[in-house]
Structure 1
Amino acid sequence: MKKFLKYFGFLILLIVFYFGATTYPKLDILSGFAAKSVASGHFIDRRPLEVIQQGDNDIDLVRLASIDINKESKFATSSVYGLKKRKAIYREGLGATLVTDDYDETQPYLVPKRTKLETNLPFPYGDQNQKDTVFPEVDYQKLKKAVADAFDKPGFKTKRTRALLVIYKDQIIAEKYENEFTKNTRFLGWSMTKSITATYFGLLQYQGKIDINKPAPVNEWANDERSKITLHNLIQMNSGLEWEEDYGKISDVTKMLFIEEDMAKIQLEKSAAFEPNTHWNYSSGTTNLLSGILRRQFKTHREYLDFWYASLIDRIGMHSMLIEPDMAGNFVGSSYGWATARDWAKFGLLYLHEGNWNGEQLFDKSWAKYVATPTPTSNGEYGGHFWLNAGGKYPDVPKDMYFCGGFQGQKVIIIPSKELVIIRFGLTEDEDFDFNGMMKGVIESIK
């Protein structure tokens, strides 16, 4: 018996040691993810905690987190076995922000000025219902099946699609939502937000206020090899800067999103590992650096906040959209954009129409071509903050297809040759969801 207890005690020590060595250092990130996810999902989209836990937080290790919501003071807290408690606060007009213990929650803050367009036009250019349009070239039964096949059958939990929206020639020809989700649900786009962030450089270039081919306006790089990095390099993510984008461990990206106060600084402070334009390296830090660079273009923080909405988001009627800031007040342009599927679709339509929104040109036509041009060394998979099919990743889809892509398979798909925009929200990536088959089915339903 004593020998058993001795071995049992030794086993417990090994388990504790293993936990301490492998999991404990991640607890800041695990509880941070859980708190932020719940604060955003609950206060932005009014999702019940159980829906968030069974969906958004249904991720390995994140499931270990315990959550509390303070509805009166509008914040969420999380910890794992009572360890590493984290807090995310919600502020109306800004969304949720993960904060540290020394963050002053009583400090005053600015909220972006929002302008709602009032038009008598149907979707997508207004809030009125679209006119009933039947396209003779669309096989609606075939389309209906393609859409239905993207969702799980009752009792299954594999495809995990939450929303699918198909727009052809500016008309919604198919729209389906899972269970509690509707056309009014605001979805987190995760890295789809990157494509929005990059678009502001297209807007500024069209206005003659910035030249993406010039060195990035980062004073901290002026006297070293990083001075050769252009905005173009940053937008194509081939700046040569060091960066580790690994969500399975403590890495640059997880520290940035769940620990750092100023997310615009972490990439800025990285050393150059390669010459610009020689190594493509996907980096959320680069996008948040671009957000910080945008902030430096304005004299005041108010101007920076308002610009994101007035120049693009509200300008094309994406009134449900909310982009959340970090503790330092930077929009987290890499990851934290929320909007309804229909409003995300408007962003896709803006690109489908090469920057023209109901007769008004927001960026030059060449910008749409630019973002869909492959970045060197990306094997045709990535362009200017958009993912591409130029390399034929999806074999049954035209190669001119390009898309905004986010964690767990969020997609705004643009297929210019087919006049299509397809929106998909869910909880599964390419490994578990047949995106090629879904797009093929939609495309084949149109003769």
Structure 2
Amino acid sequence: MKKIAIIIPILILLISCSKDDEISVNDPASENIYFPQNGSDIWETKSISELSWNENNLQPLLDYLELKNSKSFIILHDGKIVVEHYFGTHTATTPWYWASAGKTLTTAVSGIAEQEGLININNKVSDYLGTGWTSAPLAKENLITCKNLLSMTSGLDDSNNGVTTADLQYLADAGSRWAYHGVFFKLQDVISQSANQTWDNYFNTKLKNPIGMSGAWLSTVTENVYWSNTRSMARFGLMIYAKGKWNSTQIINENFLNAATNTSQNINQAYGYLWWLNGKSSYHLPQSQFEFSGSLIPNAPSDMYCALGKDDQKIYVVPSKKMVIIRMGNSADETNFALSDFDNVLWGKINAFIN
């Protein structure tokens, strides 16, 4: 009996250690992640040799990025900079547009607004904006929830990307069709209305300033585009990688981020709340109703999720590799709305460097 009494606690201890080890590997928020100070240019680095990456393959990676019209490129590992490179006249302080990669900023602020009780993403948009914000019949308009805007399932006609009432025409019931559409910008109006302040002010107070980003929103006729330096994009990617934390402060609820970075509807498996998801069995692309088989970016890790913008603006978040990767620049090849062949070739070059 004494032997059994001794063995049981040992087994419990071994099981407990095994579980802790598993959490340490798969949960980046449990790691000792580095965060750069706000208001400082100091950002700690990590050497390539420390990570045992193939330094000989760094230059081919940078050469490819330069060939493909890149302006900046950063790789973070657990928050520390491993690679930071600027091309041509672009510098660390030069602002550049996020394009649709900035959609995920709206996702983040939506999560903050929900945890503050200002909105509920399951409520219909007209609860916040009033009826008549679209040209759809009232019964159809009232089907559209904030979650439909986050998941691109509003059912509104995507042949016109404008966001005026006249532009927002009914095509299908909300939730029945996935289509890439600028109507998600209405979430910014929802949050502004609910917070009783401008979108810019709420964004700055709740997200930009707490994580030390630079940048500003610049409005056009059809959209609101964020511009910043590359490190500010990296700060945002790092906060997402850290499951919504910045240092010891929880900026965004982790449960919301888990939902945002997993499949949000049953039509496009590779889409969360304005985040693109790798490693799914099929995906849809903007301006198409065709379903493609296979992973979004086959060369990339299956657990990667990403913010993809026009002309190849990229935020890649890879929990299994403890990495955040940023690319800003002009279009690598032809103008595109999100994904391009550049993603897969680039990941081939990245793999040769990090493996």
Q: TM class by shorter-chain length?
A: 0.7 to 0.9
* Residue 168 (structure 2) aligns with: 270
Q: Determine the C-alpha separation between the residues in 1 that align with 2:172 and 2:141.
A: 10
- The residue type paired with residue 317 of structure 1 is G
* Residue 184 (structure 2) aligns with: 287
* Residue 296 (structure 1) aligns with: 193
* Residue 187 (structure 1) aligns with: 96
Change (3 A) 1:143 1:129: farther
Change (3 A) 1:167 1:146: farther
**Superposition deviation, residue 235 in structure 1:** 0.6
Task: State TM-score, norm by structure 1.
Answer: 0.61
SS in 2 for 1:412: strand
**Superposition deviation, residue 183 in structure 1:** 0.9
Give the total of aligned pairs.
296
**Higher Rg:** 1
* Residue 289 (structure 2) aligns with: none
Q: Determine the C-alpha separation between the residues in 2 that align with 1:275 and 1:182.
A: 46
Task: Report 1:174-213 matches (<5 A).
Answer: 174-213=83-122
User: Residue 322 of structure 2: which of 419, 422, 435 is its match?
Assistant: 419
Change (3 A) 1:414 1:300: closer
Consecutive unaligned residues in structure 2, runs of 5 or more: 1-33, 281-294, 335-339
- The residue type paired with residue 434 of structure 1 is F
Is 1:365 paired with 2:288? Answer: no
Q: Determine the C-alpha separation between the residues in 2 that align with 1:380 and 1:288.
A: 22
Cα deviation, 1:155-181, whole Å, max 9, x if unaligned, reads: xxx511111111111111011111100
Q: Determine the C-alpha separation between the residues in 1 that align with 2:75 and 2:184.
A: 28
Q: Determine the C-alpha separation between the residues in 1 that align with 2:240 and 2:35.
A: 19
Query: Is contact 2:61–2:353 with CA below 8 Å preserved after alignment?
Result: no
Cα deviation, 1:396-434, whole Å, max 9, x if unaligned, reads: 211221111111101111111111111111222576763
* Residue 24 (structure 2) aligns with: none
* Residue 339 (structure 1) aligns with: 228
Query: Is contact 1:189–1:335 with CA below 8 Å preserved after alignment?
Result: no
Structure with more contact order per residue of length (Cα contacts < 8 Å, sep ≥ 6): 2
Consecutive unaligned residues in structure 1, runs of 5 or more: 1-120, 153-157, 245-251, 257-262
Task: Report 1:380-419 matches (<5 A).
Answer: 380-391=269-280, 392-419=295-322
- The residue type paired with residue 211 of structure 2 is I
Q: Determine the C-alpha separation between the residues in 2 that align with 1:292 and 1:368.
A: 21
Change (3 A) 1:356 1:150: same
Query: Is contact 2:45–2:82 with CA below 8 Å preserved after alignment?
Result: no
Q: Determine the C-alpha separation between the residues in 2 that align with 1:266 and 1:411.
A: 31
- The residue type paired with residue 130 of structure 2 is N
* Residue 205 (structure 2) aligns with: 310
Query: Is contact 2:156–2:170 with CA below 8 Å preserved after alignment?
Result: yes
Is 1:225 paired with 2:140? Answer: yes
Task: State TM-score, norm by structure 2.
Answer: 0.75
Change (3 A) 1:417 1:125: farther
Change (3 A) 1:132 1:344: closer
* Residue 322 (structure 1) aligns with: 216
Cα RMSD, aligned residues only: 2.6
